[in-house]
Amino acid sequence: MAESDKGRRTIRDVAKAAGVSIATASNALNGIGRTKAETVEKVRRVAEEIGFRPNALARGLLKRRSHAIGMITNDTYGRLTLPMAAGVSEALVDHGVSVFLCATNNDPRLARLHLESLLDRQVDGIIFTATRLDLRPPPEFAKLPIPVVYAFAEGPKESVTFHPDDAQGARIAVEHLQGLGRQRILHITGAEDYKAARIRADSYRELVGSGSSVMFGDWSEEWGREAVAQVLARGSARPDAIFCGSDEIARGVIDALRDNGISAPEDIAIAGFDNWEIVAKQTRPPLTTVDMELKELGRRAGLAIHQLCNGESVEPGQTLLPCSLVVRKSA
């Protein structure tokens, strides 16, 4: 009989085919009650054979679960959140869990409205993400009756938090430049009030030592060009390598160097941070840069929220995930 002819299979069909009661079939499929292991195995095998798919709403009511989680972020453009959301979805899709993504645009009122909406939908848990490591969530998060995981954001003490290892990321970039024989390495980065900028700068200073020099500014191509103008105006020995705190800064640096007849990597090797492919691959030359592995960050956050929603224990505290270096033509 064709699938279209037999229609949607029900729990009654499973019970009849397996030779058990409807209650026994339901218990076996939902992992509750005291059903014998061989009966559970038989019921599940029969359900698969006849093409039975349990209704998600009914399953949720039975277990008091919605099989959905919310992601709240201030990342309007999705530069950081979309890769993380892809990782979260990848971790949860095989468990039948949906993800609702809500952007706050840095508006506390909008954040509260999104939070209320997600709670009205009875989501099982929430992942809070941001555009900077030191962004704190709205205070309402500390009082939620459901699990919360923080990814690329600062959670309360004893919360479950996932961050990229910025110190390690900076280290592999600088070590790569040093491995090319570059000795006068300059660091041009973003705003000093960003925790990530300070962590990367500290890691850079540890490796470069007394010859280190950090220029803080904006996270923009304009700042990269301005920083190069300042360096060239000094008239002192030029750097032979520049480690940039973002790919946008690096692109501005490379463009400004080219405008002054200085080529990368022949004269000055350049490394960025982010592996924002739309920028890194289109830079001339293509940019060597640090990848924060945001999809893996999201995957780990997704697995953690799933465990918490299932009542499993997850070690609280901050987990730092390693970055990787993507080597292209600029260094």
Portion of the chain with pLDDT greater than 70, in percent: 92
- Supply the range of the domain harboring residue 37: 3-54
Do 83 and 140 belong together in one domain? yes
Using a cut of 0.75, tell me whether the model's pTM lies above it: yes
Digit-coded pLDDT (tens) for 155-172: 888 899 999 999 999 999
User: How many domains is the chain partitioned into structurally?
Assistant: 3
Q: What local confidence, expressed as pLDDT, does residue 57 receive?
A: 44
Residue 327 counted as domain residue: no
One domain for residues 158 and 188: no
Q: Are residues 261 and 194 in the same domain?
A: yes
Instruction: Give the up-direction half-sphere exposure of residue 77: CA atoms within 13 A in the CB hemisphere.
Output: 3
* Same domain (yes/no): 50, 75: no
Q: In the prediction, which pLDDT does 298 show?
A: 96
Residue at 274 is within a domain: yes
What local confidence, expressed as pLDDT, does residue 29 receive? 78
CA–CA separation, 9 vs 50, rounded Å?
7
Whether pLDDT at 144 is above 60: yes
> Is 311 a member of any domain?
yes
- In this structure, are 100 and 248 located in the same domain? no
In a domain, 159, yes or no: yes
Could you tell me if 172 and 274 lie in one domain?
A: yes
> Could you read off the pLDDT of 36-65 as tens digits, one per residue?
888 888 988 988 888 776 655 455 444 556
Quick check: is 59 in a domain?
A: no
Mean pLDDT throughout 221-227? Answer: 98
Q: What's the pLDDT band for 7 if we cut at 50, 70, 90?
A: low
Residues 182, 298, single domain; the answer is no
Residues 17 and 28 in one domain: yes
Q: In this structure, what CATH number is given to the domain that contains residue 245?
A: 3.40.50.2300
Assess if residue 330 is contained within a domain.
no
In whole angstroms, how far apart are CA 45 and each of 25, 138, 246?
A: 11, 47, 52
Q: Which amino acid is at 138?
A: P
Summarised one tens digit per residue, pLDDT across range 274-319 is 999 999 999 999 999 999 999 999 999 999 999 999 889 899 999 9
The mean pLDDT of 112-133, rounded to a whole number, is 89
* DSSP label at residue 95: G
In terms of C-beta density within 10 A (0-12 exposed, 13-18 middle, 19 or more buried), how is residue 205 classed?
middle
| Selected residue with higher pLDDT from 5 and 18 | 18
| Residue 91 domain flag | yes
From edge to edge, which strands make up the β-sheet containing 148-151? 98-103, 68-73, 125-129, 148-151, 160-164, 317-321
Residues 183, 268 within the same domain = yes
Q: Would you state the pLDDT for residue 3?
A: 41
**pLDDT tens-digit map of 248-269:** 999 999 999 999 999 999 999 9
Q: Are residues 48 and 146 in the same domain?
A: no
Q: Which residues does 76 contact at the CB level (< 8 Å), separation at least 6? A: 103, 105, 106
| Beta-strand runs (E) in the chain | 68-73, 98-103, 125-129, 148-151, 160-164, 185-189, 214-216, 241-244, 269-274, 288-291, 317-321, 324-326
Instruction: Say which residue, 32 or 19, is predicted with more confidence.
Output: 19
Pair 45, 82 in one domain:
no
129 shares its domain with 187: no
